[in-house]
Amino acid sequence: VARNAGEIEFHQAVKEVLESLGPVVTKHPEYADAEIIRRLCEPERQIIFRVPWTDDAGRVQLNRGFRVEFNSALGPYKGGLRFHPSVYLGIVKFLGFEQIFKNALTGMPIGGGKGGSDFDPKGRSEAEVMRFCQSFMTELYRHLGEHTDVPAGDIGVGSREIGYLFGQYKRITNRYESGVLTGKGITWGGSQVRTEATGYGTVFFVREMLAATGDSFEGKRVVVSGSGNVAIYAIEKVQELGGLVVACSDSSGYVVDEAGIDLDLLKEIKNGRRGRVSDYAAVRGSARFLSSGSIWDVPCDIALPCATQNELMGTGAEALVRSGCTIVAEGANMPTTPDAVRILREAGVRFAPGKAVNAGGVSTSALEMQQNASRDSWTFEHTEARLSDIMTSIHDRCLATADEYDVPGDYVAGANIAGFTQVADAMLALGVI
Ligand code: NDP
């Protein structure tokens, strides 16, 4: 803790993983001998840089950029960039740490990293966003490469930002190196299904949780927090599989729509006009917008937190338990506080952690890298089928590992142990580096 003072989200993420690892270290003393855990908690490289840019009024603005290259035992660093005013080293390190295990769970050859900036794209013009992205990449490019470090999007970074970042990378290096960034547009090296992948993957994972007890999404009431990239495509896939999504949110409040969220309308408002969920309620008769209270007060069978870290707290967990919710699966990264996780698990709610549930995004990024490397492009159906298989395999691996360590049905232990052992074995094989 003293070594990483003030990085509270990073401490939280590390503690959550370490709590699962006692039996692993007992079974494998070689991990302790090689100081694997201490080495894993120390990023291989941390880059912090100045990002100066000029706003539309001609004033000079200044932000801070980050890239934490956490672990490359399994492959090049891979993980998204987040542009949000809350970004600081502790957030980037928590996300990068999680990413190591998530990427291992996918079974693809990718290491873990994460980056971003405290830049707030909200209210900025297209030209300002472009100038910021160009300045950000003017420093970051020297650390990237398809065999070195391959960023993608995250909160505040979608295909628009990836486009400006890739354009500047190409311009500076004079290389059309498609594999250096993922989340690209379909017409210039991107993969089908990447946009949908995290949301769809989340729902595929829950489909497997339901199937494990002979159940399905048919007729289930589902609450999805957020209304960004992950939330929108989670809603889409739940609806396709026969569930009813009755609520979603943004940082200003949440909407309840007992008729089921009208996804075309939500997409038009969020993606088309960059609007708010309150705009949705304003034009949809069956919906109401609430700016106070909590989305977790809305009764549901399945809750999918898909917005941001620590958004589902103890009181939210208690409300979910009261309403009879049986599954909570994290579409976002670490959205459930430790207190809330404890309450849910003690009440018998089946809880699955983000590093397994939301791994569909990075899996499809790895599929994008494969297509770039072979100069190929796959159909939507083929790519979605690959994603579905990967999510089934991650789910099964979590359960098999939980069985192996005598904690059947414990998705948290299963995900942490399966991800950890894969990285630890690679680190052992590569020596003390
Ligand atoms: P977006 O920026 O597209 O969307 C984030 C959404 O969450 C927005 O609707 C935002 O609302 C909302 N939000 C933010 N803070 C709060 C809050 N305190 N309460 C309620 N809603 C809030 O991001 P993504 O959808 O890409 O990412 C969401 C989560 O999923 C993050 O944790 C991210 O790390 C994780 N993730 C994303 C992946 C991806 O492929 N995109 C991959 C794996 C994980 P507002 O507009 O008001 O800010």
Query: What digits encode the pLDDT tens for the residues 57-88?
Result: 999 999 999 999 999 999 999 999 999 999 99
Report d(CA 413, CA 114) in Å as an integer: 23
Environment class of residue 370 by beta-carbon count within 10 Å: exposed (0-12), middle (13-18) or buried (19+)?
A: middle
Residue 228 CA, ligand 1 centroid: distance in Å:
5
If you take atom 16 of ligand 1, which residue's CA is the nearest one? 251
Nearest CA to ligand 1 atom 31: 332
User: Which residues are annotated as part of the binding site for NAD(+)?
Assistant: 198, 229
Token pair of 290 as six digits: 């609430």
Contact 107, 61 (CB under 8 A): no
- For residue 30, the SS3 value is helix
Bridge partners of 304, per DSSP, are 224
Conformational region of residue 270, where left means phi above 0, alpha means psi within -120 to 50, and beta covers everything else: alpha
User: pLDDT tens, 82-136?
Assistant: 999 999 999 999 999 999 999 999 999 999 999 999 999 999 999 999 999 999 9
Place of tokens 């706003």: 55
Ligand 1 centre distance from Cα of residue 147 (Å): 28
Beta bridge partners of 54: 60
Closest Cα to atom 44 of ligand 1: 332
Residue nearest to atom 36 of ligand 1 (CA): 332
How far apart (Å, rounded) are the C-alpha atoms in residues 130 and 125? 9
DSSP codes joined into one string, 175-238: ---GGG-SS--GGGT--TTHHHHHHHHHHHHHHHHHHTTT--STT-EEEEE--SHHHHHHHHHH
Distance, in Å, from the CA atom of 176 to the CA atom of 195, rounded to the nearest integer, reads 22
Any bridge partners for residue 145, and if so which? 149
Closest CA to 118 of 71, 183, 198, 53: 53
Pocket test for ligand 1, best of 193, 297, 308 (most atoms within 8 A of CB): 308
Instruction: Report domain 2-177's class.
Output: alpha beta
* pLDDT of amino acid 242: 98
Q: What is the pLDDT of residue 273?
A: 78
Q: How many CB atoms lie within 10 A of CB 143?
A: 17
Show me where the domains of the chain are located.
Answer: 2-177, 196-348
CA 71 to chain centre: 17
Helix, strand and coil in the chain, % to nearest 5: 50, 20, 30
Spell out the residues 6+ positions from residue 348 whose beta carbon is closer than 8 angstroms to its own. Answer: none
Query: What is the spatial distance between Cα 69 and Cα 149, in angstroms, rounded to a whole number?
Result: 8
- Output the CA 57–ligand 1 centroid distance in Å: 29
Reported ipTM: the value is: 0.98
Nearest CA to ligand 1 atom 29: 332
Write out the binding residues for substrate. 78, 99, 102, 153, 365
Ligand 1 site residues (CB inside 6 A) read 153-156, 198, 225-231, 249-252, 306-308, 311, 331-333, 358, 361
Query: Residue 305: beta bridge partners?
Result: 225
Distances (CA, A) of 232 to 16, 162, 199, 202, 295: 28, 19, 7, 11, 16
- 122, 154, 270, 291: which to mutate for ligand 1, most atoms within 8 A of CB? 154
Domains 2-177 and 196-348 agree in fold: yes
pLDDT at 401: 98
In the three-class reduction of DSSP (H, G, I as helix; E, B as strand; rest coil), residue 52 is classed as strand
Confirm or reject CATH 3.40.50.720 for domain 196-348, answering yes or no: yes
Provide the residue type at 419 as one letter: G
Ligand 1 center–CA 31 separation, angstroms:
35
Distance 250 CA to ligand 1 centre (A): 8
Residues in the chain, total: 433
Query: Hey, whose CA ends up nearest to atom 17 of ligand 1?
Result: 251
Pocket test for ligand 1, best of 229, 237, 252, 297 (most atoms within 8 A of CB): 229
Nearest of 390, 27, 54, 32 to residue 205 by alpha carbon: 390
Cα–Cα dist 222/257, whole Å? 11
Name the residues annotated as catalytic.
114
List of residues 6+ apart from 385 with CB closer than 8 A? none
d(C-alpha 245, C-alpha 303), whole Å: 10
> Which are the contacts of 160, defined by CB distance < 8 A and separation ≥ 6?
126, 129
pLDDT of residue 1: 81
* Confidence (pLDDT) at 2: 87
Q: How many other CB atoms are found less than 10 A from the CB of residue 147?
A: 10
pTM: 0.96
Distance 374 CA to ligand 1 centre (A): 32
Q: Which residues of the chain are under the pLDDT cut of 70? A: none
